Structure 1
């Protein structure tokens, strides 16, 4: 079981992804912005960050950069429906460029999400 921070500005997406992760027996803390994620990451440890890329205000790309600078080694799964006015491949390439360990396209399937988490979870959190 991994401790996961989930960041997405859309409440229904957070609810769906949280349920998927909880069905995989993971604990989930969710938040609606990159700024809130930074605050939570600074106050307690997590095993994995799952973040949307395109959010109002500070985006997920900036959050990934912050994590790489302040929480090196924290695995990151980026989820995206694609950048505004750009092909979906752009989002995937940008997420990988800034350091996401895995990128999933929305709508995210439960099995693909849980598989990505299983691949990235620290060995002591795997069942």
Structure 2
């Protein structure tokens, strides 16, 4: 079972997203802000992080910077509905520039969230193609 971290300050959305992702067969750890998320990351191995961008006590941007510094290969899906002074488009573009692998504008359909998670997990699971260096001759078995 794949383990992910969901970071959302709205308790209703946190519960809704968590239930949906769990029903899809994922183990979901949750946090209500960036500070809690960093604590969870120290305690639990996760394959990816889904984070809201605008939250009190450590927003998604601060969390993404910490992930970039401490967990370089941990992919992030950034979500937001925008803020009073910034559009969601600006926030999501900013999240991409900080390394978010995918972004979603709230409100989104649960299927969109699940498709994003599955795509990233699939990408992480694909084996790395290996090939022999050209300097090593390959001799057929019947020679």
Taking structure 1 as the reference length, what is the TM-score of the superposition?
0.91
CA distance in structure 2 between the aligned counterparts of 1:108 and 1:22, rounded to whole angstroms: 18
CA distance in structure 2 between the aligned counterparts of 1:117 and 1:88, rounded to whole angstroms: 20
Q: CA deviation at 1:23?
A: 2.2
CA distance in structure 1 between the aligned counterparts of 2:4 and 2:63, rounded to whole angstroms: 15
2:6 match: secondary structure: strand
Structure number having the greater helix percentage: 1
Greater C-alpha radius of gyration: 2
Structure 2 unaligned residues grouped into runs of 5+ = 127-143
Q: CA deviation at 1:108?
A: 2.5
Aligned to 2:66: 66
Aligned to 1:48: 48
Between the two proteins, the alignment pairs up a number of residues equal to: 124
Q: Show structure 1 runs of 4+ deviating over 6 A.
A: none
Structure 1 unaligned residues grouped into runs of 5+ = none
Q: Say yes or no: does 1:123 pair with 2:125.
A: yes
Contact 1:2 1:48 in 2 (8 A): no
1:58 match: secondary structure: coil
Aligned to 1:106: 106
1:67 match: secondary structure: helix
Q: CA deviation at 1:56?
A: 1.0
Q: CA deviation at 1:57?
A: 2.4
Taking structure 2 as the reference length, what is the TM-score of the superposition?
0.82
Q: Say yes or no: does 1:79 pair with 2:74.
A: no
**How well do the aligned residues superpose, as a CA RMSD in angstroms?**
1.3
Q: CA deviation at 1:40?
A: 0.9
Q: CA deviation at 1:85?
A: 1.2
1:79 match: secondary structure: strand
1:50 match: secondary structure: strand
Higher relative contact order (CA 8 A, sep 6+): 1
